[in-house]
Chains A and B, each alone.
Chain A
Amino acid sequence: MTNSMKEFEDSGCIFVIGSNTTETHPIIAGRIMTAKEKGAKLIVADPRNIHLAEFADIVVHHRLGSDVALLNGMMHVIVKNGWHDDKHIEERTEGFSDLEEVLEDYTPKKVEAITGVGCVDIERMAEMYAGNHPAALLYAMGITQHTTGVDNVKSCCNLAMLCGNVGVRSGGVNPLRGQSNVQGACDMGGLPNVFPGYQPVADQTANEKFSNAWGKALPERAGLTLTDMVKGMGDGRIKALCVFGENPKLSDPDSGHLDHVLKKLDFLLVQDLYMTETAADADVFFAGASVAEEDGTYTNTERRCMRGNKAIDPLGKALPDWDIICRLSSAMGYAMDYSCPEEIFDEMTSLTPSYGGMTYERLGINGLQWPCPGKDHPGTPYLHKDNFSRGKGKFHAVKYLDPDEMPDEDYPFFLTTGRMFSHYHTGTMTRVSPHLHSEQKSGYIEVSPKDAGDMMLNDGENVRVLSRRGQIEVPVKITSRVGEGLLFSPFHFRENPINRLTNPAFDPIAKIPEFKVCAVKLEKIAE
């Protein structure tokens, strides 16, 4: 996030697109409610009629995957009416004329034809977003999990820069991150092309710096992303896989294919808390520690690095994660000899400028937000205050493209996937929790009352759902949260593994799969 969560309470307008905030980030939804009480306007754009929509000033349900068109349409209206921030564009940005040229095409009428959102609503959204400064844009995986994920994010940034909403308190472009330490895993270099702090592995200076610090010549060529590793397992380039605390068998698209390629591995190592679907295929299983059983830091969605403290000793023979890695690495001939997590943290901060000013003592209970480059630096609540990291903010002229797979005669329904309020990701942590399990015990697929009526489906009845990649059976939930022709199913439930159906086509740059759009058909199961 460019900004901080608490700042949303003072926004003039909050625009939520592709985030089911009340269910997946309830505490942020609370901030939005407070903003509303203080007079902020709320715009919600989501293909489903999500709970947050009930509180919005304007709600639109755009067709799955039509985000670029919708955002371009809003910007077309803003530019046509002169509601954009000339001073901000002139002083802080470049590339505006290229964007302007592309926007010319996206008249409300054309955008209505693509998105299904009426011209009047597009104009009202544009006016509300541009007219209530500062406006904060919030998004989640509804924006990113598309073959056009990068285009979608660029369009969000275009809109924010166009109205002078970047580098200001209570504004910004704010991806709500879905895992407790997904920000930290990225910051720590858990990516194939960068060392900690996003220092490129291919950059000679950075590579030398880390090679010297770690006493070993390090590879300079960027590695494979998860998506490409799966391909590599298929064609035999990847022979061994080490999986630390993940369950790709349930979370990856087209999971039938993943089942197949995991079996081709010579060696699979899995570290987890439970016998997950992925762990069941492992050659060796390492029993890791939970959040309550080890010290360490986590970095949240607003870049805040915070300490988690060990409350109990690891249960059974489980070991802290850092301890297991040290043992494995040392056994492989590369000695790692740390006595505690703080020692690891101090080594990391000495190599990572954005964390450079942090120590366990300074983090205290509240933590610090990066960039925090020096011992006296107070941390950074919002980014790009005076400058963008690249100097000027760049507008990207982005054109709308269809999703990879659209409904047709054979597969007439749109399917989208996501989370629900009481469960989390592949359900490994929440389905073993009695209170959360009692909220929702099985998977389901949301079907509109109209479609359910046409197919004579009853609520709770098992239905067969088929895509070009696989088929599953799942109970029907009849609800007006989805419109005609649209289906939704959460991916938490191993009995109804919806990712057998999803499309592994991915964004060419971010390599993120298109979980949010695929084409399926429904079949009533004969009694």
Chain B
Amino acid sequence: MDYQMVPSICPYCGVGCGVLLEVIDGKLAGTLPLKTHPNNEGKLCIKGWNLHEHVVSDNRLLFPLVKEEGRFREVAWDEAIEISAKRLKAIIEEFGPDSVGVLTSAKMTNEANYLIQKFSRAAIGTNNVDHCARL
């Protein structure tokens, strides 16, 4: 049996508790508080202790989908990306870049957020980018 503990950050509230993700034979198995982390010093709330459950849930959707005539169809990544790029480009051409809005995420990493606003501003050409800080 291969057992690893990987340090990470709890994805729930803004405290950002340090956690250890328990991985057994490549599968996410549990969450422990990180004792030395300055934010939580070995403590976690009920959400943090159970954070692995949202990752391994059977409710996860693990492939891209495209809707056709009201129904979703599983597609390969290349097709999902190509269809999206084509639709967005057509709309930008007809109505201008400010006809597109982008909502980035307070749950994603800094790196993803940086890329999403760069994508909005440089690839689409609009400053219509916001997220749910107000909600």
Q: How far is the CB of B128 from chain A (nearest CB, A)?
A: 4
Is B47 in contact with A424, judged by CB distance below 8 angstroms? Answer: yes
Which residues of A line the B interface, CB within 8 A? 5-6, 24-28, 30, 144-145, 176-193, 195-196, 201, 210, 214-216, 218-219, 221-227, 229, 232-233, 237-246, 248, 251-252, 266-267, 269, 272-275, 279, 282-288, 290-302, 304-313, 315-319, 321-322, 324-329, 331-334, 336, 338, 341, 344-345, 347-348, 365-367, 421-422, 424, 429-430, 432-436, 439, 510-513, 515
Contacts of A195 in B (CB 8 A): 117, 121
Q: Roughly how many angstroms separate A108 CA and B84 CA in the complex, as a whole number?
A: 59
Q: Which of A188, A252, A302 has the most chain B CB atoms closer than 10 A to its own CB?
A: A188
Is B27 in contact with A312, judged by CB distance below 8 angstroms? Answer: yes
Is A284 in contact with B65, judged by CB distance below 8 angstroms? Answer: yes
**Residue B7 contacts which of A185, A241, A365 (CB distance < 8 angstroms)?**
A365
Encoded as 1 (CB less than 8 Å from any A CB) or 0, chain B from 7 to 40 comes to 1111111111110010100111000001011111
Contacts of A429 in B (CB 8 A): 11-12, 54
Query: With A180-B10, A227-B134, A332-B123 given, is the CB distance from A326 to B103 under 8 Å?
Result: no
Interface residues on B, range: 35 or more
Query: With A180-B10, A300-B16 given, is the CB distance from A196 to B50 under 8 Å?
Result: no
Encoded as 1 (CB less than 8 Å from any A CB) or 0, chain B from 91 to 110 comes to 10001011111111111111
Is there a chain A Cβ closer than 8 Å to B1's Cβ? no
Is B14 in contact with A178, judged by CB distance below 8 angstroms? Answer: yes
Query: With A328-B81, A334-B119 given, is the CB distance from A436 to B53 under 8 Å?
Result: yes
Residue of A nearest to B20 (CB): A311
Query: With A301-B16, A336-B119 given, is the CB distance from A229 to B61 under 8 Å?
Result: no
Residue of A nearest to B134 (CB): A512
Which residues of B line the A interface, CB within 8 A? 4, 6-18, 21, 23, 26-28, 34, 36-40, 43-47, 49-67, 72, 77, 80-85, 87-89, 91, 95, 97-135
Is B23 in contact with A311, judged by CB distance below 8 angstroms? Answer: yes
Counting from the closest, the 4 A-B pairs by CB-CB distance are A316-B62, A296-B109, A223-B127, A177-B14
Q: How far is the CB of B133 from chain A (nearest CB, A)?
A: 5
**Residue B21 contacts which of A226, A292, A331, A513 (CB distance < 8 angstroms)?**
A292
Is B9 in contact with A291, judged by CB distance below 8 angstroms? Answer: yes
Q: How far is the CB of A179 from chain B (nearest CB, A)?
A: 4
Is A244 in contact with B112, judged by CB distance below 8 angstroms? Answer: yes
Residue of A nearest to B133 (CB): A182
Contacts of A319 in B (CB 8 A): 77
Is B14 in contact with A292, judged by CB distance below 8 angstroms? Answer: no
The 9 sampled A-B contact pairs (Cβ below 8 Å) are A229-B128, A240-B100, A284-B67, A298-B109, A319-B77, A334-B122, A344-B114, A365-B36, A436-B50
Q: Roughly how many angstroms separate A57 CA and B133 CA in the complex, as a whole number?
A: 32
